[in-house]
């Protein structure tokens, strides 16, 4: 299994660290904050691979943040027509802080599939460390436990960023590498480009993603659109 669309929700915690660090000293911040998001995508992509069998997916999440930088959240998504997995339920937590203008996010994510067939061994958990500066972030993700032992000790690397173009329009880019500890699995490189529009009615994204996997059709270029609104 490979689980990146969910990373948008997770990275919001890291990006908020940069915002807090740039606030004027007289600004008063809430000690506790809560948020929610719902959306739909024409293809659920995670680390350059479709998780929904190239079908559309519906998702949503809930997040809690403390002024100290501690955060907890959960995120749920359908998986298209994949009846073997059913749907995905993730739970994550961590801590964000500033170091000399750099935003740092250290945490853990549990990827769960409560309706998955028992013989699939789909659930796993990983720790992550991400660093953001201005519009750019870099991250490392390490699988510390997995029902499928072949997936344990997998390391993923990501580098990405988003820059404004005009008004509420921005462009994003990501590149990543997934390094499996199990030699029977194929390591791969993936990359993506996106055009994003923030509006009062929610956020829209049009993206291109591709990888270099050798399996049939896995490395095909994919284009997908996403809409998400936060509360």
Structural domain including 66 reads: 7-230
| 134 is a domain residue | yes
CATH code assigned at 35: 2.40.160.40
| 77 is a domain residue | yes
Domain count, the chain: 1
Q: Which residues contact 192 (CB under 8 A, 6 or more apart)?
A: 4, 45, 48, 172, 173, 174, 175, 207, 208, 209, 210
Helix (H, G, I), strand (E, B) or coil at 187: coil
| 2 is a domain residue | no
| 1 is a domain residue | no
Structural contact between residues 114 and 126, judged by C-beta atoms closer than 8 angstroms? no
Going residue by residue through the chain (231 aa), what tens digit of pLDDT does each one get?
333 434 443 344 334 333 333 334 455 668 999 999 999 999 999 999 999 999 999 999 999 999 999 999 999 999 987 778 889 999 999 999 999 999 999 999 999 999 888 788 899 999 999 999 999 999 999 999 999 988 999 999 999 999 999 999 999 999 999 999 998 899 999 999 999 999 999 999 999 999 999 986 788 999 999 999 999
Taking residue 20's Cβ as centre, other Cβ atoms within 10 Å add up to 17
């Amino acid at each position: 299994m490979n689980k990146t669309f969910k990373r948008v929700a997770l990275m919001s915690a890291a990006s908020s660290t940069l915002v807090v660090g740039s606030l004027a000293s007289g600004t008063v911040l809430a000690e506790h904050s809560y948020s929610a998001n719902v959306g739909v995508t024409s293809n659920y992509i995670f680390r350059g691979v479709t998780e929904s069998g190239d079908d559309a997916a519906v998702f949503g999440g809930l997040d809690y943040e403390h002024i100290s930088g501690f955060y907890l959240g959960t995120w749920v998504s359908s998986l298209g027509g994949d009846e073997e997995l059913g749907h995905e339920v993730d739970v994550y937590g961590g801590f964000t802080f500033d170091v000399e203008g750099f935003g740092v996010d250290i945490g853990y994510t549990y990827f769960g599939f409560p309706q998955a067939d028992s013989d699939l061994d789909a659930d796993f958990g990983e720790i992550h460390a991400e660093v953001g500066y201005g519009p750019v972030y870099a991250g490392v993700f390490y699988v510390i436990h997995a029902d499928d032992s072949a997936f344990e000790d997998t390391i993923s690397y990501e580098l990405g960023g988003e820059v404004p173009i005009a008004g509420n329009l921005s462009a994003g880019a990501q590149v990543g590498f997934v390094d499996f500890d199990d030699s029977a699995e194929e390591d791969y490189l993936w990359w993506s480009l996106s055009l994003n529009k923030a509006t009062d009615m929610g956020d829209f994204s049009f993206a291109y993603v591709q990888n270099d996997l050798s399996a049939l059709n896995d490395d095909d270029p994919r284009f997908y659109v996403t809409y998400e609104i936060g509360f």
